[in-house]
């Protein structure tokens, strides 16, 4: 693309931009089970107006824009009270779950360094179901992620295994409320006890569940204690851009006290520009996302969220019941919120074919590869708009299972599995990768309509190769045209 030599009128800009969207998934349809959390047009309009209104304000310096300070404190106040944070708790607004988790991990690392200096590499002990963002933080911050097996029936953290993984370099334990993949709450009370016994920080990842769980509980769901009521919990992340229904760019990190939060702050006085101090990772930062999140919480209110939760809970229970009754599929664990993982124990039913068949029937469902105790499965994040679609979703699952039974499994996946067992990831070069992509039907960056073959290959190769394949693919994907 070339920069136009003269400017283009707004109408035409918008028309051209709109054309870019034609291949996007139709998230407004109610047939998309992930990515966008949709509370309906009215709520969206309220967010959009507030977003646009504060788009140009800069939260870089709250003394220059006191409105930004006030909005952030308001949001943290509503979230912290919702999470039963005690007197003295503090928090900040961030761009998303990843940033909130980064700040919790950074605080734990700095706490470790204060006690042990900078020589030892601090370790995070986390269940294999904890969100990847924790491992990403360990990667960025030069820490070690110690991944611990989970209970294979409940898909919850195994506290004894976590205990066994603690070393003198452990600085942080992680639990989820709920986990993304299976929608279950880890045994946070026991993890809190463990953290206190070993004088460790405990981060509860409430990115997806923190906000919604209290309403599910009020509706009768059996929700275990998981927030600041548990004494050992040091910090919690809670995304507003998921089931807070705010547009993307909105999450909250809450610390139990100010001294913990101090350890995630950053200031720099050794340069020649303006005095720099940041309460989060971003520096210059639009006021839009914060104002939109403020609008979402005020538009919905407690009753609004209760009603949205009611619809999502009903849809979830119906789906679980329907899948339980369906021959060839099963729900992994017992979701405590509205996130469902559906697998197959039937060797004749390849779950990746089921996902393809669902997509061909006009649904967007998310395949999750096998890892640890979790077999390959299909993930559904239930939206308020999902409910009217449940009967046809279940009918199409039944039809997709029957169609999948007639489709062959990958020929090359078992071959690659054997081949990869003997290769060292370090010896793996781009040429081998290209060959492999070609064998799996991936040429360049054009993905085939049916993804089962690729998913099957991804599912059997060692995780180090999975990661290499993914980064190479994305490295190819983002290339510009001149």
Helix/strand/coil for 174: strand
Choices 103-111, 203-211, 223-231, 258-266 (CB under 6 A): range interacting with ligand PLP: 203-211
Exactly one of 205, 336, 356, 453 binds ligand PLP (CB under 6 A); that residue is: 205
The three-class DSSP label of residue 25 is coil
Q: How far is the CB of 126 from ligand PLP (least distance, A)?
A: 11
**Dihedral class, residue 159 (left if φ above 0, else alpha if ψ from -120 to 50, else beta):** alpha
Token digits of residue 48: 């959009």
Window of 72-80, 92-100, 193-201, 408-416 that interacts with ligand PLP by CB under 6 A:
92-100
Is 96 near ligand PLP (CB under 6 A)? yes
Q: How far is the CB of 238 from ligand PLP (least distance, A)?
A: 10
Q: Where are the alpha helices (DSSP H) in 263-350?
A: 288-324
DSSP classification of residue 410: P
Which residues inside 399-418 make contact with ligand PLP, applying CB under 6 A?
none
> Considering only residues 106, 133, 204, 238, which one is a binding residue for ligand PLP as defined by CB under 6 A?
133
Which of 207, 260 has the CB closer to ligand PLP? 207
Part in contact with ligand PLP (CB under 6 A); list of ranges 72-80, 165-173, 204-212, 397-405: 204-212
Cβ atoms of 373 and 128 closer than 8 Å:
yes
Secondary structure of residue 254 in the 3-state scheme: strand
Whether 179 and 224 have beta carbons less than 8 Å apart is answered as no
Question: Whose CA is closest to 460, among 375, 344, 363?
Answer: 375
125: enclosing H helix or E strand: strand 123-127
Q: Closer CB to ligand PLP, residue 165 or residue 208?
A: 208
Work out how close the CB of 412 gets to ligand PLP at its nearest, in angstroms, rounded to a whole number. Answer: 32
Site string for ligand PLP, 144-183 (x = CB under 6 A): --------------------------------x---x---
Q: Tell whether the torsion through CA atoms of 61, 62, 66 and 72 is positive or negative.
A: positive
| 3-state SS, residue 94 | strand
Does 210 sit near ligand PLP (CB under 6 A)? Answer: no
CB of 213 to ligand PLP, least distance (A): 12
> Which of 91, 97, 247, 288 lies at the binding interface for ligand PLP (CB under 6 A)?
97
The yes or no reply on residue 243 touching ligand PLP (CB under 6 A) is: no
**Cβ closer to ligand PLP: 252 or 349?**
252
- DSSP per-residue letters across 223-245: PPP-STTSTT--EEEEESSSTT-
122/175 with CB nearer ligand PLP: 175
Q: Which of 71, 97, 103 is nearest to 255 (CA)?
A: 103
Per CB under 6 A, residues contacting ligand PLP are 96-98, 131, 133, 176, 180, 205, 207-208, 239, 251
């Amino acid at each position: 693309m070339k920069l136009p030599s003269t400017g283009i009128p707004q109408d035409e800009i918008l028309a051209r931009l709109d054309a870019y969207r034609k291949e996007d998934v139709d998230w407004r349809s109610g047939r998309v089970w992930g990515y966008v959390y949709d509370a309906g047009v009215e709520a969206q309009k309220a967010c959009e107006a507030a977003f646009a209104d504060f788009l140009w304000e800069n939260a870089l310096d709250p003394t220059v824009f006191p409105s930004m300070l006030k909005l952030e404190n308001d949001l943290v106040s509503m979230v912290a009270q919702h999470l039963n944070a005690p007197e003295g708790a503090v928090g900040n607004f961030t761009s998303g779950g990843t940033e909130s988790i980064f700040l919790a991990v950074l605080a734990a690392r700095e706490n470790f360094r204060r006690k042990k200096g900078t020589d030892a590499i601090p370790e995070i002990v986390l269940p294999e179901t904890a969100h990847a963002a924790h491992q990403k933080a360990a990667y960025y911050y030069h820490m070690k992620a110690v991944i611990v097996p989970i209970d294979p029936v409940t898909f919850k953290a195994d506290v004894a295994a976590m205990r066994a993984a603690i070393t003198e370099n452990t600085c942080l334990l992680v639990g989820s409320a709920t986990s993304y993949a299976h929608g279950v709450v880890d045994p946070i009370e026991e993890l809190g006890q463990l953290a206190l016994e070993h004088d460790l920080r405990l981060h509860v990842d409430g990115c997806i569940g923190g906000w919604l769980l209290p309403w599910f509980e009020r509706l009768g769901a059996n929700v275990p204690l998981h927030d600041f009521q548990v004494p050992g919990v040091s910090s919690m992340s809670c995304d507003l851009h998921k089931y807070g229904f705010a547009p993307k760019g909105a999450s909250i990190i809450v610390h139990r006290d100010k001294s913990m939060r101090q350890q995630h702050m950053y200031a720099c006085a050794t340069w020649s520009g303006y005095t720099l101090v940041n309460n989060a990772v971003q520096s210059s930062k639009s006021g839009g996302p914060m104002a939109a999140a403020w609008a979402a919480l005020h538009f919905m209110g407690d009753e609004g969220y209760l009603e949205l939760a009611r619809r999502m809970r009903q849809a979830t229970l119906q789906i679980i019941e329907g899948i339980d009754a369906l021959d060839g599929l099963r729900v992994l664990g017992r979701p405590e919120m509205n996130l469902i993982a559906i697998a197959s124990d039937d060797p004749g039913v390849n779950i990746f074919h089921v996902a393809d068949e669902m997509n061909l029937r006009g649904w967007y469902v998310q395949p999750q590869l096998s890892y640890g105790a979790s077999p390959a499965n299909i993930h559904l994040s239930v939206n308020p708009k999902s409910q009217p679609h449940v009967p046809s979703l279940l009918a199409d699952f039944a039809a997709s299972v029957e169609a999948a039974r007639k489709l062959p499994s990958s020929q090359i996946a078992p071959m690659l599995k054997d081949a990869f067992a003997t290769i060292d990831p370090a010896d793996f070069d781009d040429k081998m990768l290209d060959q492999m992509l070609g064998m799996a039907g991936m040429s360049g960056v054009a993905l085939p309509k049916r993804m089962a073959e690729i998913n099957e290959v991804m599912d059997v190769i060692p995780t180090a190769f999975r990661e290499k394949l993914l980064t190479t693919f994305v490295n190819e994907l983002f290339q510009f045209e001149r």
